[in-house]
Structure 1
Amino acid sequence: MENRTPDLGELVGGGGVATPGRQLPAHADLNLLRTFLAVYRAGSLTAAAPQLGLSQPTVTAQIRTLEQQTGRELFTRLPRGVEPTPPAHELAGQVAAPLDALASLEGGGPQSGQGTPVHLAGPSELLCVRVLPALAPLVAGGLQLRVTQGLTEPLLEEMRAGRHDLVIATRRPRGRALESVPLADEEYVLVASPAWARRVGEYPAADGGLCAALRDVPLVTYAEDLPIARRYWRNVFGKQLTARAAVTVPNLYAVLSAVNAGAGYSVLPHSLCQEYLESGRLTRLHSPEEPPLNTLFLVRRPGSDANPDVPRVGDRLRAAARSW
């Protein structure tokens, strides 16, 4: 049997690649289409360049050439990254499978959809406690996952630059460039060690109750401006928190460890300290009728679903989040 690389016309069925208003010939330069698909999947000219082994200006020039050939704008330029236009979505749907098949025949490459890692990012503690356990069955089944930990704003900026396929964010992203759906509501709880809880419980209610009792208890938090604790005081007690932090450490696991060891009290995500509460190592100091909640969002980079594992991961996370 003859072993040769098929041209694009053979891979798509002999008719070339159609885009609205213009026909792309079957003998068109495959390099332009490879570059297009890399940019489509990366969400950024800059991010696609190293995958292709090209400079960013070369990638830009090739996309412009392809846009001239198709007669349609394929990407909307954003401050960070690009957003595929409807013609780009249609073109990607037509050329992705043929180019992936060609890359497979040639021994793999950036366009190979099968085995392409999913780049996922989110808060460190949530990834460890909820996300990675939920995705373990997919990983066992062959999913490749690349995980980045960080704060929401920097992660969303990196996503706009094409670095991440999915981000679990603690707020909905601004603008329309990034697609997002609510994922879960995270409850925050006011906790301390049992020893501190007993001392707080002995404080006379007539002298101000819990808020007054906590004035003499060290506050442990992950930031100097006390964002979680201040929000808890405002939403639950209807007053401003005037305490200063005794310990600040930019890691909620470290905050949990310090509080568990008896350093003081804190306000923490329920998912993080649930095991400690159930085992009695920590005590919930207050159980409001309406606990403060923070909505988590699953954010997807446009064009990332060209990798079929990206929607699989998104579906799995949405299903798992129903029990979070």
Structure 2
Amino acid sequence: MLDYLRYKRNLGMADLNLTQLQTLVQVVATGSFSAAADRLGLSQPAVSLQIRQLERRLGLKLLERLGRGLKPTAAGSLLLEHADHIQTAVDQALQALASHGETVSGRVAIGTGATACIHLLPPLLGQLRQRFPQLDVRVSTGNTLDVLRAVEDNRLDLGLITLPASGRNLQVEPLLEDAFVALLPPASPLPRGALAPAALVEAPLLAFETGSSTRLLIDDWFRRAGQPSRPVMELGSIEALKELVAAGLGYSLVPGIAVATEHHRQGLRVQPLAPPLTRTLALVLRRDKPLSRPLQQVLEALRRLRR
């Protein structure tokens, strides 16, 4: 205790800076100043300066270069052991203070796929804006792995993703089942009614990009029927797929929510699949994530989508 008091007295008024601490966490997580700068939305010189200021503030070397990467020193590793606890304590303190306010205000960052962003979230976000004008909900899109990584790194508060998903520190809550459908141009020669893989294998498939959770489910649907999946085009945009189908360039298999509204082009044929193909959308957040009032309101609104 005496050593700690003497060390703290030597620091004077220069207490630990939380921004600089989080910058250190990102530098170690990414292994470089430039990658950490990309994650934090800062310039590389700004990240380097924050680390130098933190080291100067503590009077300790926190990072060392090994090969092409940066690794924490013994002192840096010790500080990082406490970083999560420090951030959690701060979040809990802010949550406790927020509970005394009469309004719901603050920022909530959500990560999700493009289809859910376009066809599921807009009405929900509009209702939240009407109820809580001071609630700032930010949405970014990406594949499931990118969203999970951002939630684990605490760069996103919440993810709305396609299962499967896993992570030691993640809480996964299934939300709703979404059945895929076949989307065909009006003049398609394919038979009407439920379509099986064997009926589709010779037709030109317009597919989601390789590696996406949706594409993996579609490929597995064909594989389980002993049929190959041979897309003639691969795209990352559900709206682009619709336009290409409407132009008569092929058919696509899309989540049902993408054609559940009146926004899709009139005249396109929407047909079920046999056997059925479904995906599960789920909420994911860190197990130790403090549930601030803004985050609670967003979670409650999303859970009302459950069906």
Counterpart secondary structure, 2:151 = helix
Task: Determine if contact 1:186/1:296 at 8 Å carries over to the other structure.
Answer: yes
The question of 1:134 aligning with 2:148 is answered: no
Gapped runs of 5+ residues in structure 2?
Answer: 1-11, 28-35, 61-77
Q: Distance in 2 between matches of 1:265 and 1:117?
A: 40
Which residue among 305, 319, 324 is the counterpart of 2:290?
Answer: 305
Moved more, 179-188 or 211-220: 211-220
**Residue 192 of structure 1: CA displacement?**
0.9
Does 2:219 align with 1:230? yes
Q: Aligned partner of 2:115: which letter?
A: E
Root-mean-square deviation over aligned CA pairs: 4.5
In structure 1, what is the equivalent of residue 18 of structure 2? Answer: 35
Any residues of structure 2 matched to 1:90-129 within 5 Å, and which? 93-94=92-93, 97=96, 115-129=105-119
- SS of 1:200's equivalent in the other structure is coil
Larger Cα-atom Rg: 1
Q: Which amino acid aligns with 1:270?
A: G
Shift of 1:190: 2.1
Q: TM-score, normalised by structure 2?
A: 0.65
Deviation string for 1:8-27 (max 9, x for gaps)? xxxxxxxxxxxxxxxxxxxx
Q: Aligned-pair distance for 1:151?
A: 0.9
Opposite residue 217 of structure 1, the aligned amino acid is A
Change (3 A) 1:266 1:302: same
Q: Distance in 2 between matches of 1:49 and 1:280?
A: 41
The C-alpha deviation readout for 1:157-199, integer Å capped at 9, x for no partner, is 2233332111112134433222221122221112212210xx2
C-alpha distance 92-284 of structure 1, shift in aligned 2 (>3 A): closer
In structure 1, what is the equivalent of residue 254 of structure 2?
268
AA matched with 1:186: D
Partner in structure 2 of residue 3 of structure 1: none
The residue identity in structure 2 corresponding to 1:233 is: F
What is the SS of the residue equivalent to 1:55? Answer: helix
Q: 1:110-141, CA deviations, whole angstroms, 9 ceiling, x for partnerless residues?
A: xxx96321111110121111023212111222
**What is the CA deviation profile of residues 72-104 of structure 1, one whole-angstrom value per residue up to 9, with x for unaligned ones?**
x99757xxxx6x45x975675457656999xx9
What is the one-letter code of the residue matched to 2:138? R
Is the counterpart of residue 160 in structure 1 residue 152 in structure 2? yes
CA positional deviation for 1:217: 2.4
CA gap 1:318/1:259 in 2 versus in 1, 3 angstroms: same
1:70 maps to none
Report the secondary structure of 1:157's partner residue.
helix
Q: Say if 1:120 and 1:167, in contact at 8 Å, map to a contact too.
A: yes
AA matched with 1:250: G
Secondary structure of 2:122 counterpart:
helix
C-alpha distance in structure 2 between counterparts of 1:99 and 1:33, whole Å: 23
State the number of aligned residues.
257
In the alignment, which residue of structure 2 is the partner of 1:55? Answer: 50
Give structure 1 stretches of 5+ with no counterpart.
1-28, 66-72, 105-112, 203-208
How many Å separate the matches in 1 of 2:98 and 2:268? 55
Q: 1:271 to 1:257 in 2, by over 3 A?
A: same
Deviations 1:47-92 (A, max 9, x none): 8998xx98247669989x9xxxxxxx99757xxxx6x45x975675
The aligned counterpart of 1:293 is: 278
Contact 2:201 2:227 in 1 (8 A): no
Distance 1:99 1:215 in 2: 56
Please report how far the alpha carbon of residue 316 of structure 1 lies from its aligned counterpart in structure 2 after TM superposition. Answer: 0.8
TM-superposed CA distance for 1:318, in Å, is 1.0
